[in-house]
Amino acid sequence: MYQVPKSQNNGVPLRPILSVIGSPEHEFAKWLYEILEPVLNNFSDNCIVDSFRFAAIMRELDCNSQTNFLCSFDVTNLFTKMTLGETIKICADMLYRSTLSPPTFPKNIFLELIELATKSGCFSFNDVMYQQVDGVAIGCPLAPILANIFLGFQEALLFTRISRPFRYWRYVDGTFVIFKSRDGAIFS
């Protein structure tokens, strides 16, 4: 485990990273990542792959209008605070829908495998053993895809209840939103 400074936050807190590179869990999680990609594709309309793509979108978009209202939102500690049980259920339900190509093994086996990959990891810190039982450790190959699926599902629900902003993009836990006016940015 190591820590990386969160330079965008006041006081520059540290983000703990649990590195599993080179472990059997790492290879297993990479294999599950490939299985989960069709689920992510259902929720990727708002996702930005990297900062280069975001910069290209911004260059193409006229967001300098005086009536536009630009803002950003950040989900605090998404990986470690997302409800893992709910996220796993979303993944399994979406993966085994008839419109996707499900894995060649049954849903109950998938559930066992993803729980094994996300809930069985242990680590030690200051000579004390810990097991993460909810959320996903930052550093796990499944963390970004599970976070994107979880937030993509939540966004899909949100946009059935409120009107969609003029523009909306997200990179994992950070969003950039453009409303046509300041009044449009007030959610009711």
If the chain, 188 residues long, is cut into consecutive pieces of 10 residues, what is the mean pLDDT of each piece? 67 68 78 91 83 85 70 82 90 84 88 86 78 74 89 90 86 84 60
Mean pLDDT over all residues of the chain?
Answer: 81
pLDDT for position 1: 65
pLDDT for position 76: 80
User: What confidence tens digit (pLDDT) does each residue in 140-176 have?
Assistant: 788 889 999 999 999 899 888 988 888 888 888 888 8
Rounded Cα gap, residues 106 and 115, in angstroms: 15
How distant, in Å, are the alpha carbons of 17, 66, 91 from that of 94?
A: 29, 41, 5
- Of 68, 89, 55, 73, the closest CA to residue 166 belongs to 68
Q: Where are the alpha helices (DSSP H) in the chain?
A: 24-42, 51-60, 78-81, 84-95, 107-119, 142-161
pLDDT for position 114: 92
pLDDT for position 186: 59
Query: Token pair of 5, please?
Result: 């400074």
Name residue 56's amino acid. A
**Domain-by-domain residue ranges, the chain?**
24-185
Residue labelled with tokens 């280069």: 52
- Of 65, 86, 93, 103, the closest CA to residue 147 belongs to 86
Q: Output the CA torsion sign for 132, 141, 49, 15.
A: positive
